[in-house]
Amino acid sequence: MSTGCLYQYLNCSILRAGQLQREDLWVRNGKIMNPEVLFFVEKVTADVKIDCKGLIISPGFIDVQINGGFGCDFSTDSDPEKALETVAKGLLSQGVTSFCPTVITCPSEYYHKVLPLIKKRDGSKKGAGILGIHVEGPFISKEKKGAHPEQLIKDFDGGFKDVLETYGDLSNVSLVTLAPEKSNAKEVIEEFCKRGIVVSVGHSMANLAQGEAAVTSGARFITHLFNAMLPFHHRDPHLVGLLTSEKLPHNRKVYYGMIADGIHTHPAALRIAHRVNPSGIVLVTDAIRAMGFPPGEYPFGEITIEIKGNQSLLKGSNTLAGSIATMDFCVRHFAKETSCGSVLALEAATLHPAQMLGIEDRKGTLDFGADADFIMLDDELNVQATYIAGECVYTKPPQSLSEQLMT
């Protein structure tokens, strides 16, 4: 992309202000431009005009919970920087322009080695941008450990001191999942928030009151709702009840992650969450190294998972261990099963995760001044092209002759 070059994207529908608007998109120097300023103040016209042929333009997808993919795993690979490069590059074809590499429960020495290496960085043609690390564990419940190795799960009886001893350098961390029922949770949550790190509750045996206390202390996200937590009960809805709680601070919004892969969450559960709290849903993949791989056994953290069909399970059990779904699939599946429409389905993978992380001024939106990270999709929400900072970093390959004959 030429520096200072003004691009005009024509014949498209733009996701902006909660609706698909039939208007042009203007981009310069990697930013979304205001056409009124261009016309009436600068009095300039486009240097390059691009016909989008009726496609939808949406902000790029943001995945805040992804453990790996394309044969790589952020919690076990000996060369985490190479793993990041591989995953970041592969995500472009799925419309993901930014993500939070997720490191699950690991030995302390691994955190000390890896967390300083996974640095925040802008996206480019080399791959999606890194918004900071999501550390999921080890301060979680053993009863709701899921795929996390039980022998490595910890408490923070010593408060935030235990957190620092376990993780080491926190400068690259943006999101942390913990069980709010643990002793000293209030102190730990407040300290994370002071450091600008978003706290999520999950892998937890917490009741609703404990969840409300965590949100009052600063927590603002629920890790993969319905999964690895106590189920909804009419006398105590547990963490699920945070979606409708009236005991939260008035200025505090709770977002919640959903794995809309058709396996982790039943379509009826998707519909319940969507109808109760549509503005809080954040689609996540929770993808593992086997994403896109054939059936077989693969290492995942300290354990082994087995791919059977479209499920990933702890070897020798029926316990789900992450997903092998892609973000574009999750968006389409969520739109189909909830009948929520394209706008909300797209916002659940763009605007909402950006709001949860507090970066909606530059990511997850096509507002003027935001980063020009966007994707082009057809009416069925299939990704046709991906742009980062206004540069085209992925284009869907043309159909082969055999594929054309089958359509």
Whole-angstrom distance, CA of residue 377 vs CA of residue 8: 17
Percent of residues, the chain, with pLDDT higher than 90:
84
The helix/strand/coil state of 53 is: coil
**Tokens, residue 240:** 């699920």
Is the pLDDT assigned to residue 198 strictly greater than 90?
A: yes
> How would you classify residue 368: left for phi > 0, otherwise alpha for psi between -120 and 50, otherwise beta?
beta
What does the pLDDT look like over 330-364, one tens digit per residue?
A: 999 999 999 999 999 999 999 999 999 999 999 99
What does the pLDDT look like over 121-163, one tens digit per residue?
A: 999 999 999 999 999 999 999 999 988 999 999 999 999 999 9
Alpha carbon of residue 196 to chain centroid: 18
What is residue 232's DSSP assignment?
P
Determine how many CB atoms are found less than 10 A away from the CB of residue 90. Answer: 20
Query: Which of the listed CATH numbers 2.40.50.140, 3.40.50.2300, 3.20.20.140, 3.30.930.10 matches domain 60-357?
Result: 3.20.20.140
Q: Where are the domains of the chain?
A: 6-58+367-401, 60-357
Whole-angstrom distance, CA of residue 289 vs CA of residue 323: 9
Q: How far apart are the first and last CA of the chain?
A: 34
**Tokens, residue 355:** 């709001």
Half-sphere exposure of 76 (CA within 13 A, CB side): 17
Place of tokens 């042009």: 24
**Tokens, residue 146:** 């899921």
CB 8 within 8 A of CB 46: yes
**Tokens, residue 334:** 């969520």
Is residue 286 annotated as a catalytic residue, yes or no? Answer: yes
Amino acid 312: pLDDT: 82
> Kind and range of the H or E element at 191?
helix 185-194
Task: State the alpha helices, DSSP H only, in 218-289.
Answer: 267-276
Amino acid 301: pLDDT: 61
What does the pLDDT look like over 39-97, one tens digit per residue?
A: 999 999 999 999 999 999 999 999 999 999 998 999 988 898 999 999 999 999 999 99
Confidence of residue 402 (pLDDT cuts 50, 70, 90): very low
What does the pLDDT look like over 259-299, one tens digit per residue?
A: 999 988 999 999 999 999 999 999 999 998 888 778 888 87
Amino acid 372: pLDDT: 98
Of 63, 73, 77, 286, the active-site residue reads: 286
Whole-angstrom distance, CA of residue 176 vs CA of residue 166: 13
Whole-angstrom distance, CA of residue 287 vs CA of residue 89: 15
Nearest to 97 by CA among 370, 397, 369: 370
**Average pLDDT, stretch 177-195?**
98
Nearest to 370 by CA among 8, 34, 12, 134: 34
Nearest to 92 by CA among 122, 126, 132, 58: 126
Whole-angstrom distance, CA of residue 223 vs CA of residue 199: 10
Determine how many CB atoms are found less than 10 A away from the CB of residue 271. Answer: 15
- CATH code of domain 6-58+367-401: 2.30.40.10
DSSP per-residue codes, 271-310: HHHHHH-GGGEEE---B-TTTTPPSEEEEETTEEEEEETT
Place of tokens 């390059």: 48
Amino acid 185: pLDDT: 98
Do 6-58+367-401 and 60-357 have matching folds?
no
| 3-state SS track over 172-183 | CEEEEEECCCCC
CB 140 within 8 A of CB 152: no
Is the pLDDT assigned to residue 401 strictly greater than 50?
A: no
